[in-house]
Amino acid sequence: MEQNATEDQIQAVAAKVESFGLKSTIINGTERTVIAAIGEKRGSFKESIESFPGVSALTPISAPYKMASREVRTEPSTIQVGSFTAGGGHVGYVGGPCSVESEEQLISSARAVKAAGGTGLRGGAFKPRTSPYSFQGMKEEGLKLLAQAREETGLAVFTEVMATEDVDLVCRYADVLQVGARNMQNYRLLEAVGKSGKPVLLKRGASATMDEFLLAAEYILNEGNDQVMLCERGIRTFESHTRFTLPLASIPYLHRRTHLPVIIDPSHGTGHTYMVHDLAVAAVAAGADGLIIEMHPDPPNAQSDGYQSQTFEQFAETMTRCQKVQRALAE
Ligand code: PEP
Ligand code: MN
């Protein structure tokens, strides 16, 4: 729309878009308002819309993902939930164990995250494990402990939802719904978390391309939920010195393609505790909007992912260093 377009003109164009059987979404930027028209191309659409008062230009969005595209929303999105903020210059720091195991384990972790300057608490209550014989998570009991930890520390709770039928349950306790790498292309689940209206941390599938990743985010956005964060957690390659290969190039690439915040997971991305610190610092230096890091009071005895989990001390050291880099970049 033109910079001085009136609210009536904006509403009239949105209604016209809908009359073509397309979905309209009004995006209010600081510079101008954009009306996204989503759907299949329609015959006389272009001519009809262009002649409406207040319309500046009709621009086809070349990216296959529309709502996620930077072409539609040119300014970076900021996601804010409780004390956690990511995007638009804010870096959100999430720490916590891979799995919620006990009250003592989770509450001590939450306190350590908070003390180190973290703003989000992670912890899996429903765990997607490669083997059906591995620990599957504490389920609702785990969710209750996460809510208790939030109560005590004020940290925003990030936890994975694995199945569509669990979305309501997880929403009752979580602040941010995590969709795991194995579920990145579970489209019914993406729609369900989209409908939930809760902020979502979408993890990249281990073999997903960037377009597939962004189209998965598009499923959530298409349900009217614009609180989506993209999490690069590493991809499967021929390399074996790391559990996955963590491409930090995803940060500038995604920042160019999308307005959504980019969160880096150096824990799954490397699979080795000793590498987590350096990759976390590098991610912040490369412009990441947030980090999600596994830490545990006793990593060797963790129920899952102990070999990539930091101790509380290591986590605190990583936080200090990352915040230092953040400050240096802001100068
Ligand atoms: C996790 O965060 O513990 C997890 C299972 O991550 P991912 O889905 O990236 O493997
Ligand atoms: Mn894990």
pLDDT tens digits along 294-305: 999 999 999 999
Quick check: CB of 98 below 6 Å from ligand 1?
yes
| Phi-psi label, residue 274: left if phi above 0, alpha if psi -120 to 50, beta otherwise | alpha
Token pair 């389920």 is found at 139
Confidence at 70, pLDDT banded by 50, 70, 90: very high
pTM: 0.95
Structure tokens belonging to residue 164:
């569509």
Token pair 């963790």 is found at 302
Q: What is the pLDDT of residue 31?
A: 81
Q: What is the pLDDT of residue 42?
A: 80
Over range 90-103, report the average pLDDT: 98
Token pair 């505790």 is found at 273
Q: Which protein residue's CA is at the shortest distance from atom 10 of ligand 1?
A: 181
Contact (CB, 8 A) for 284 and 100: no
Q: Which of 157, 200, 232, 265 to mutate to test the pocket of ligand 1 (most atoms within 8 A of CB)?
A: 265
**Rg (Cα) of the chain, in Å, rounded?**
21
Q: What is the pLDDT of residue 29?
A: 82
Distance 28 CA to ligand 1 centre (A): 34
pLDDT tens digits along 154-195: 999 999 999 999 999 999 999 999 999 999 999 999 999 999
pLDDT surpasses 90 at 30: no
Contact (CB, 8 A) for 94 and 118: yes
pLDDT tens digits along 74-85: 899 999 999 999
Rounded (5°) CA angle 225-219-247: 100
pLDDT surpasses 90 at 120: yes
Quick check: CB of 203 below 6 Å from ligand 1?
yes
pLDDT surpasses 90 at 40: no
Over range 287-295, report the average pLDDT: 98
